[in-house]
Amino acid sequence: MIEVRGLNKRFGDSRPTSVHALRDVDLDVAKGEVVVVIGPSGSGKSTLCRCLNRLENPTSGEIRIDGRPLPAEGRELARLRADVGMVFQSFNLFQHKTVLDNLTLAPMKVRGVGRAEAERTAHELLDRVGIGEQAAKLPAQLSGGQQQRAAIARALAMRPKAMLFDEPTSALDPEMVGEVLDVMTSLARDGMTMVVVTHEMGFARKVADRVVFMADGEVVETGTPEAFFDSPATDRARDFLAKVLSH
Amino acid sequence: MDVITRHLGEFGDGLLITVELTLLSLAGALVAGVIVAAMRVSPVAALRAAGTAYVETLQNIPLLVWLVLAVFGLPEIGVMAGLFTTAVIVISLYQGAYMAEAVRSGINAVPVGQGEAARALGLTFTQSLRMVILPQALRTVVQPLGNIAIMTIMNTALAAAVGVVELTAAANRVNLAEAQPIWIFVTAGLLYMALSACAGLTTGALERKLAILR
Ligand SMILES: Nc1ncnc2c1ncn2[C@@H]1O[C@H](COP(=O)(O)OP(=O)(O)OP(=O)(O)O)[C@@H](O)[C@H]1O
Ligand SMILES: [Mg+2]
């Protein structure tokens, strides 16, 4: 479903302060697979996620979605992005639109779905993520957890082939993390292809088919959650796990 | 006071022309401003350069010079338009440069995540600008746009210099007949103040109505 080969990303290429955020990253995500990406801050997890739908332009390397290379820009790219849902740390719901309109905008404008059908789908999805009653509210009237669930529903409204999550629970109060992870877990159970950047080790252990550990822009280690958490192969992964699991 | 009551008709006609000039120019300026602001944030370098050149050229030459140039220059290149129409077009384009800057600052105030979320959903750059960014940007710049509206009201007086008989020109004509400049121009001034008060009230009402909950 997603194939990444030799992906490099440098920020500020011409400047002496340039950052090599991704170094020769290879990654394969099969259809229906849930890949959890973990690693220390600044290791390039967000950059990888953003390169996958070209919110960030890779410096070099190849990305294929469903066998097709990711187009550089324009309508082709827009069409491909429509097939890959993205959920952000800061929700990014459209502030001036109701929750319902957040869900119907892209299906109507990008997919050409009629309003009635778009609204029917939107209500179904909002019910599915447990916020059916909030449809008519503005994003700012919702709690963080509700906003993030609405954002997930908005991405699902496009009927994507895969979903990218960039630390979807990092901006949430602790008591709301569970409700968002529950939605993501049920999505994974339903067979959605997912790439999830997260610091939630419990979720990684329980839901991931594969864990990818990144450090300094490289994929250092990859394996099943059991193998990774119980017997990490590299020192860097051991150090990292010691730090995050110590509290 | 009789000078005024005796010439109510002239003042009324002048005021009407001023209001028409203002409303038409504002509509034109808003359209020009939004288009130029969109060019200035577009991913296409040539469009950005054109947008910048537009703003720099329009803002760095006085409106009066543009008006005179248009009134005498347009017929030279074969464009025949009435004085009123010429004034509307020139004031629109001129105020459009200021509108563009205000709208652009509004666009920059919209969190980048809004545009990223829109594009991640498959909206094109133009669609995200039109449906997600601009509606939020315009709401945040109601106050600066209101100030530009007031500036536009005042600037319509320059149309008098190229022969449009708006409020200032009407006052001037009355004065030529009556030679009572104080009364006549104080009256004109009060009428301008009343117009800008209307603009101010409208701005305030719009701002309250359009405020976005964040
Ligand atoms: N727009 C940018 N301009 C310049 N440097 C950037 C930019 N975005 C990211 N970087 C740099 O790239 C590197 C990787 O950043 P990235 O955000 O991908 O890390 P991350 O693993 O997601 O970290 P975190 O866990 O803190 O979110 C960092 O050194 C960061 O400073
Ligand atoms: Mg990150």
- Residue B155, token pair as written in the block: 């600037």
Residue A243 buriedness (CB in 10 A; 0-12 / 13-18 / 19+): exposed
Cross-chain Cβ contact A92/B117 below 8 Å: yes
- The answer, yes or no, to whether ipTM is higher than 0.90 is yes
Q: DSSP for B85-150, please give it.
A: HHHHHHHHHHHHHHHHHHHHHHHHHS-HHHHHHHHHTT--HHHHIIIIIHHHHHHHTHHHHHHHHH
For A15-55, what is each residue's pLDDT tens digit? Answer: 778 899 999 999 999 999 999 999 999 999 999 999 999 99
Cα separation, B55 vs A31, in Å, equals 51
Task: Give residue A134's pLDDT band: very low, low, confident or very high (50, 70, 90).
Answer: very high
Beta bridge partners of B88: none
Cross-chain Cβ contact B119/A78 below 8 Å: yes
Residues of chain A contacting residue B43, judged by C-beta atoms under 8 Å apart: 73
Task: Give residue B90's pLDDT band: very low, low, confident or very high (50, 70, 90).
Answer: very high
Size of interface A-B (CB pairs under 8 A): 76
Kindly give the number of the ligand 1 atom that is closest to the alpha carbon of A167: 27
pLDDT over 70 (residue A222) = yes
Is the CB–ligand 1 distance for residue A21 below 6 Å?
yes
> How many angstroms separate the Cα of A14 from the Cα of each of A51, A216, A223?
20, 20, 36
For B20-41, what is each residue's pLDDT tens digit? Answer: 999 999 999 999 999 999 999 9
Of A47, A169, A219, the one to substitute when testing ligand 1's pocket (max ligand atoms within 8 A of C-beta) is A47
Domains of chain B (ranges, CATH numbers): 2-210 (1.10.3720.10)
Average pLDDT score over chain B = 95
pLDDT over 80 (residue B1) = no
CATH assignment at residue A67:
3.40.50.300
> How many angstroms separate the Cα of B6 from the Cα of each of A77, A78, A81, B167, B192?
69, 66, 70, 16, 20
Domain extent at residue A233: 2-245
CB-CB neighbours of B106 under 10 Å? 21
pLDDT over 80 (residue A246) = no
Is the CB–ligand 1 distance for residue A46 below 6 Å?
yes
Predicted structure pTM score: 0.90
Nearest residue on chain A to B117, judged by CA atoms?
A92
**DSSP 8-class letter at A220:** E
Choosing among A54, A96, A147, which should be mutated to test the B contact, i.e. which has the most B CBs within 10 A? Answer: A96
Is the CB–ligand 1 distance for residue A45 below 6 Å?
yes
| Distance from residue B213's CA to the centre of ligand 2 (Å) | 27
Helix, coil or strand: residue A9: strand
Average pLDDT score over chain A = 93
Are the beta carbons of A183 and A131 closer than 8 angstroms? no
Number of domains in chain A: 1
Task: Give residue A247's pLDDT band: very low, low, confident or very high (50, 70, 90).
Answer: low
Are the beta carbons of B132 and B64 closer than 8 angstroms? no
Task: Give residue B3's pLDDT band: very low, low, confident or very high (50, 70, 90).
Answer: confident
H-run or E-run covering A43:
none
For B39-89, what is each residue's pLDDT tens digit? Answer: 999 999 999 999 999 999 999 999 999 999 999 999 899 888 899 999 999
pLDDT over 90 (residue A68) = no
Compute the average pLDDT of residues A56-80. Answer: 87
Residues of chain A contacting residue B117, judged by C-beta atoms under 8 Å apart: 86, 88, 92-94, 151
